[in-house]
């Protein structure tokens, strides 16, 4: 269950990064839903890096958020397995 949730969140971040990199249509319902969901789930990590290139900022910040979710998810899974 934990893996599925973490996988879904990481997938949202990956899709968001891809949509930004490839300049997806923000007017599209699916794209805007992913954008909104990613903005909600990023939990303050959306502005850790502030490079001059906004595109690089999105890749770094949402990539970092995905990495944090993966690491925390693995720690939670290990903790649950011990008990």
User: Per-residue pLDDT for 30 more than 80?
Assistant: yes
Per domain, the residue ranges of the chain are 2-82
User: Per-residue pLDDT for 15 more than 90?
Assistant: yes
* pLDDT classification of 81: cutoffs 50, 70, 90: very high
Q: What angle do CA 68, 69, 74 make, to 5 degrees?
A: 100
**pTM of the prediction?**
0.92
Q: Stretch 38-62: mean pLDDT, rounded?
A: 95
Q: How many residues does the chain have?
A: 83
Q: Above pLDDT 70, what percent of the chain?
A: 100
- Contacts for 48-55 with beta carbons within 8 Å, 24 or more apart? 55/20, 55/21
User: Per-residue pLDDT for 83 more than 80?
Assistant: no
């Amino acid at each position: 269950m934990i893996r599925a949730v973490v996988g879904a969140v990481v997938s949202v971040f990956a899709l968001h990064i891809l949509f930004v990199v490839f300049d997806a249509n923000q007017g599209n319902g699916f794209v805007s839903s992913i954008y909104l969901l990613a903005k909600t789930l990023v939990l303050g990590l959306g502005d850790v890096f502030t490079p001059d290139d906004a595109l690089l900022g999105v890749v770094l910040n949402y990539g970092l958020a995905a990495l944090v979710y993966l690491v925390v998810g693995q720690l939670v899974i290990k903790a649950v397995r011990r008990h």
